[in-house]
């Protein structure tokens, strides 16, 4: 899949665990894990906005397109 999810990279830069992000974003741990591993088929803008707010980053820091 040409869309890469770099959520784990941003979490490491912010020294934040998946559990902590899950609580702050108000998303279940399993759904956040699916997104982190790149297995998600879609992501809501509201979810992306919440993640970017908590991690203090831009959507392009989390999502990347590669051929």
Q: pLDDT (tens digit, 9 = 90+) per residue, 20-52?
A: 999 999 999 999 999 999 899 999 999 999 999
Average pLDDT value for the chain: 95
CB atoms < 10 A from the CB of 1, how many? 8
Q: How far is residue 21's CA from residue 7's CA, in Å, rounded to a whole number?
A: 10
Please report the pLDDT score of residue 25 as a whole number.
Answer: 96
CB atoms < 10 A from the CB of 31, how many? 14
Please report the pLDDT score of residue 22 as a whole number.
Answer: 96
Q: Which bin fits 38, alpha (ψ -120 to 50), beta or left (φ > 0)? A: left
* Both tokens assigned to 19: 């559990």
């Amino acid at each position: 899949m040409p869309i890469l999810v770099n959520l784990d990279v941003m979490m490491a830069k912010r020294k934040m665990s998946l559990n902590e992000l899950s609580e702050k974003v108000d998303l279940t741990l399993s759904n956040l894990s699916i997104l982190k591993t790149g297995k998600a088929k879609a992501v809501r803008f509201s979810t992306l906005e919440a993640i970017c707010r908590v991690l203090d980053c831009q959507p392009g820091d989390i999502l990347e397109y590669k051929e």
